[in-house]
Chains A and B, each alone.
Chain A
Amino acid sequence: DAMVIQNPRYQVTQFGKPVTLSCSQTLNHNVMYWYQQKSSQAPKLLFHYYDKDFNNEADTPDNFQSRRPNTSFCFLDIRSPGLGDAAMYLCATGRGGNTGELFFGEGSRLTVL
């Protein structure tokens, strides 16, 4: 059974039209992450939550926001998508600790027209 579930798997939006991607987990992990993965590039961390504490990477554009209403759910909001935001968005969870494994969802692929 899937433990990290992302919806939708595929999202098509128009330039400038807001988008929300969701992630849910059944693992009860403290930490939830959002990564952006562009074609043939390394996944890039956008931000993460440690419980309710939000941590933004320094180079994450303001256009990207996140919400974590409870332990199980985390959302990625893209306020005004541009063509450069077309990518695969990966959600991951972890227990915490520097040596721990991250558990990934299958990703949400965003297309911007």
Chain B
Amino acid sequence: GNSVTQMEGPVTLSEEAFLTINCTYTATGYPSLFWYVQYPGEGLQLLLKATKADDKGSNKGFEATYRKETTSFHLEKGSVQVSDSAVYFCALSGGAGGYNKLIFGAGTRLAVHP
């Protein structure tokens, strides 16, 4: 079945460092891919998405490119801030029949220090 694997955390970085969080997936067909973020004490919120191969999603300085050949959707940011500290979840859409059924990875906790 469909699944998502993302790198284990925690990832600890200094402010302004470069961030990569790896995400790979297994899926039949052509799923859409998502990154969700969960800040402390809050619900999950969409960070970015890509709906087809070679699409690049971007938001708030974060980027991820849908790579079908490597079944990957790695999250990157050139310069992280303390406010980026959160848990990041990679997900793919696995639904049929007109609704979006998300399958999540286990999440990667990011801690950014001043």
Chain A interface residues (CB < 8 Å from chain B) = 4, 30-31, 33, 40-45, 48, 50, 90, 92, 94, 96-107
Contact = CB atoms under 8 A, between A and B. Distances in A.
Given A42-B89, A106-B42, A107-B43, A99 B49 contact: yes
A104 B41 contact: no
B4 interface: yes
A94 B96 CA distance: 14
B98 A97 contact: yes
Interface of B: 4, 31-32, 34, 36, 41-46, 49, 51, 89, 93, 95-107
Interface centre among A92, A97, A100 (most CB of B within 10 A): A100
Contacts of B43: 4, 90, 104-107
Given A45-B101, A48-B101, A104-B36, 17 more contacts: A33-B101, A43-B102, A45-B103, A90-B43, A92-B44, A94-B100, A96-B100, A97-B98, A98-B32, A98-B96, A99-B51, A99-B93, A99-B100, A101-B49, A102-B44, A102-B46, A107-B43
B46 A101 contact: yes
What is the interface of chain B mostly: helix, strand, loop, or mixed? loop
Given A40-B106, A98-B32, A99-B93, A50 B99 contact: yes
Contacts of A30: 99
B75 to A, nearest CB: 16
A12 to B, nearest CB: 18
29 contacts: A31-B99, A31-B100, A33-B101, A40-B106, A40-B107, A41-B106, A42-B4, A42-B103, A42-B104, A43-B44, A44-B104, A45-B102, A50-B98, A96-B98, A97-B98, A97-B99, A98-B32, A98-B96, A98-B98, A98-B100, A99-B32, A99-B100, A101-B49, A102-B44, A102-B46, A102-B100, A104-B45, A105-B43, A107-B43
